[in-house]
Structure 1
């Protein structure tokens, strides 16, 4: 075989091997098991013209065994909003996660906060994973927590822009299994 043919053959073999490895990782969890059913991870700051410092971070997961039960999701998410030294934060225990394509909706109950309006309430956030231009929305823009909780996995569309260079949301699409008959 001439040198060019050998190089082409080696390159083709490397591409085939890499493609097979990538498919194996995509279909599993990287440890030989099923991949989780859905996930939302990452963090970003919200873009505001004013000097607001608004941050959201997510670590929400739906296990493969719970694929048809989004309310079995686990994890937490956190948000904070500060301006001129005033504001607060909340940590939320996830109680529902639904994803579709690059969009996720997650809700949970506030378990830690220094903002009385959120204490012991369910809140929700939506995320659109757009690479460097992620977006998100949050339930308290349309529903005041003092009037009651949002239902599990309900929240407004992702209407806010993330601050340039801060969005690293990753959405793992949910693949529900429906009966074939």
Structure 2
């Protein structure tokens, strides 16, 4: 085979490979756009702008029963305003037959990658003196053993009633193995 025909054959193979890669890239981009929607102000198609869902129990060596449940959502139409998030979250903590629970109405949800920060005002509880307080929780959805943190981590009680929206602590707590099913839908704001 002459040098010229080998070069020509090599060029044809490269051209065909490039065409296949471009076709695959265009198909992938189209599929991603239809699943994830656009990043424009028109929203994200059927995809909500952000979400935090799921339930898990925290790990405590003393055996405390601590449960957190989330059903927080930011609609696609509200993509650029995390203060329009809706939903609720609940938490409870029982040890040696004592403890309590609370339910909060979501007032902010911000997510990034697999991390979510949600805040809400406590609307129902059996804990004395905390109804009406805002609390914030941070979740890291690791896919294995999720992590969680809460705004009252460094206080003796639920913290200040005037806690700002979407404030939580680092997710320092570990979820008990086999109990975490947190799911975070990452937020993709268009305002940046």
What's the TM-score, normalizing by structure 1?
0.81
Aligned equivalent of 2:99 = 87
Q: Does 1:119 align with 2:131?
A: yes
Q: Is the 8 A contact 1:132 1:168 kept in 2?
A: no
Q: Secondary structure at the match of 1:104?
A: strand
Residue correspondences, number: 160
Structure 1 residues 177 and 52: alpha-carbon distance in aligned structure 2, compared to 1, 3 A threshold: same
Alpha-carbon shift at residue 85 of structure 1 (Å): 1.3
Work out which of the residue numbers 157, 163, 175 in structure 2 matches 1:150.
163
* Larger Cα-atom Rg: 2
Q: Does 1:110 align with 2:130?
A: no
**CA–CA separation in structure 1 for the residues paired with 2:161 and 2:105:** 17
Aligned equivalent of 1:98 = 110
Q: Is the 8 A contact 1:142 1:156 kept in 2?
A: no
Q: Is the 8 A contact 2:152 2:159 kept in 1?
A: no
Q: Deviations over 1:139-173 (max 9, x none)?
A: 11124435433210011110000000011100000
RMSD (Å) for aligned C-alpha atoms = 2.2
Aligned equivalent of 1:171 = 184
Alpha-carbon shift at residue 20 of structure 1 (Å): 8.9
Q: List runs of 5+ in structure 2 lacking aligned partners.
A: 1-23, 38-43
The 10-residue stretch of structure 1 (75-84 or 113-122) with the greater mean CA deviation from structure 2: 113-122
The 5-angstrom pairing of residues 44-83 of structure 1 reads: 44-83=56-95
Q: List runs of 5+ in structure 1 lacking aligned partners.
A: 1-15
What's the TM-score, normalizing by structure 2?
0.76
Q: Secondary structure at the match of 1:126?
A: strand
